[in-house]
Structure 1
Amino acid sequence: MKKKVIQIVRAPEGGIRKHILSIVEGLQGENFEFYLITNEQGGDVKYFNFIESNSSYQTRILNLPIVDQPNFSDLSNLFKIYKYLKEIKPDVVHGHGAKGGLYARLVGKLVSAKVIYTAHG
């Protein structure tokens, strides 16, 4: 059975983008299913090039309006992520950066998944 890995990151750009895509590339194969929860508006050119040229990775993307600073939209995002993860039933939730880490730690525990947090900066 494939391990379901969720990655949550505010914006796929720069070093964060490099890190999450390295994980996707490095763990490819029959054993993993990848999901990315992010704000694609914050993505850089290399992120969009990767998505376009590597459709074989079949990473599923949930695009949410994740903003840098605390905001009321965080409550809506947490609820949407919770519903999404309850449906997917992930094995691992990986939060990268402050906002992605917050979302992963809060929601990952609620769905009984293993949670990994990678600080950035």
Structure 2
Amino acid sequence: MSVKVCPDESACPVAVTVNVIGGKWKALILYHLLSGPRRFNELRKLLPDATQRMLTLQLRELEGDGIIHREIYKQIPPKVEYSLTNLGESLKPLILVMRDWGEEYEKTKPNI
């Protein structure tokens, strides 16, 4: 496999990917949405260390990038669900490889 040299950071496909799914919570949000739509409070329970503000910000960024869809149901109390778009679904292989790599790393990580 050959690796192309990127002329600059803005033209590097890896940088583009990291800009979209990078950050502490985005990959975890995507991982939890792989199994289907989730409500905001479900995501908060799955990511207890993420503040409400940070989770909201990360969800908005993913929505703005076309990775997730936010569905608002007109009912009392209001119901909001987040799900992967087709573009978000295309990240599934990447997220699963990250999961698998993390499992292997946990088994073999060096004791530093």
TM-score greater than 0.5 by the shorter chain: no
More strand as a share of residues? 1
Larger Rg: 2
TM-score (normalizing by structure 1):
0.28
More helix as a share of residues? 2
TM-score (normalizing by structure 2):
0.29
